Amino acid sequence: MSAIKEYYRPEDWKSAAEILGRLGIKTAPILISTKPSPVDKWEMEVAVDLSRLGLEYVKEEKQSIKVGALTSIQALLNNPIFSSKFNGIFHLAAKHAATAGLRNVATIAGVLSDFAGSCEIALALLISDAVVSIRKDQSVRALSITEFLANGKQALSTGEILTEIQIPYQDGVYSLERVARTPADQEIVAAAVYLHLTGSHIDQARVAISGASPQPQRFSAVEHALEKQEFSTALVEKAAEVATKEATPISDFRGSAEYRAAMAGILTRRALLSAWNLKAC
């Protein structure tokens, strides 16, 4: 049975802050993920609809793209910026995230609040070194996406709202690889890679994997193995091995821990090779 007793749709930040700051009653914004829980299992007693706060936007700036936290996943998919930039990984991740109906109601903040569904958007943000903006009343703080996701539900304190994600433009190549039961099913494992290369020298590497650990995360050992090295087949194989070793997956009906760890390696290898091939293009 639903816990929701009150519903508010604040028109401005001041009202939102007042509502979200109430003590003694479980208050939370309505954030729909790509794998939402039934309404009667939502835990909040006060549901806060933030749709009037202007958090649905995609703004292209010189150094980055800014995405409002309540931007729908479908809006990401439809936006030509995400088809043309970042080697299209956001477009791809959005497409895999859910069906179009769910993509219309699921938001980027919703996706980042729940790792039960597809995590490919989180992977894309992780390897992009995105920064999230968190607002409480009039104050805003910034947090790296890595830190934000690592803290899980504790990342936000009472009254805080995730308002924006900044995705910096970087001079590098991005790739995303996945394995799933069917083409549209949630991934069993997915791996995303960002490489900044000078010739064949890897200046910077970011590798993020979902399905190979309790939540999507950067694989730092893989990144260390790659950085400041010359790109080579042997290095890719080594990175794949490290990914398998660094994986700490659980087993479920989509795949066992052993399979997931193996896929972490295989998909890391593929993502690295895809990125390298993109660079060659």
Smaller CB separation from another protein, 140 or 184 = 184
Q: Provide φ and ψ at 246, rounded to 5°.
A: -80, -20
Smaller CB separation from another protein, 29 or 172 = 29
Smaller CB separation from another protein, 117 or 216 = 117
Find the binding residues for another protein in span 52-81 (CB under 8 A): 74
> To the nearest whole angstrom, how small is the minimum distance from the Cβ of residue 171 to another protein?
28
> To the nearest whole angstrom, how small is the minimum distance from the Cβ of residue 175 to another protein?
15
Residue 271 contacts by C-beta under 8 Å, 6 or more apart in sequence?
175, 176, 177, 191, 192, 193, 207
> Which one of 125-133, 181-189, 195-203, 228-236 is the stretch in contact with another protein (CB under 8 A)?
181-189
83 binds another protein (CB under 8 A): no
SS3 21: coil
Closest CA to 202 of 222, 176, 216, 218: 222
Residue 82 contacts by C-beta under 8 Å, 6 or more apart in sequence?
58, 76, 88, 90, 91, 94
- Sole binder of another protein in the list 140, 142, 184, 250 (CB under 8 A): 184
> Which one of 19-27, 140-148, 182-190, 223-231 is the stretch in contact with another protein (CB under 8 A)?
182-190
> To the nearest whole angstrom, how small is the minimum distance from the Cβ of residue 217 to another protein?
21
247 binds another protein (CB under 8 A): no
Find the binding residues for another protein in span 250-279 (CB under 8 A): 252-253, 255-256, 259, 262-263, 266-267, 270
Measure the N-to-C terminal CA separation of the chain; round to a whole number of Å: 55
The contact mask relative to another protein for 134-173 (x = CB under 8 A, - = no) is ----------------------------------------
Strand ranges for the chain from DSSP E: 6-8, 27-29, 46-48, 58-60, 64-68, 131-136, 139-144, 161-168, 173-180, 187-198, 201-210, 217-218
Count residues contacting another protein (CB under 8 A)? Answer: 46
Q: Rounded to whole angstroms, how far apart are CA atoms 98 and 281?
A: 30
What is the separation of C-alpha 166 from the centre of its chain, rounded to a whole number of angstroms?
12
The contact mask relative to another protein for 95-134 (x = CB under 8 A, - = no) is ----xxxx-xx-----------x-----------------
CB 98 within 8 A of CB 117: yes
Q: Rounded to whole angstroms, how far apart are CA atoms 181 and 187?
A: 8
Residues found near another protein in the complex (CB under 8 A): 1-7, 9, 30, 32, 35-40, 47, 49, 51, 74, 99-102, 104-105, 117, 179-186, 188, 252-253, 255-256, 259, 262-263, 266-267, 270
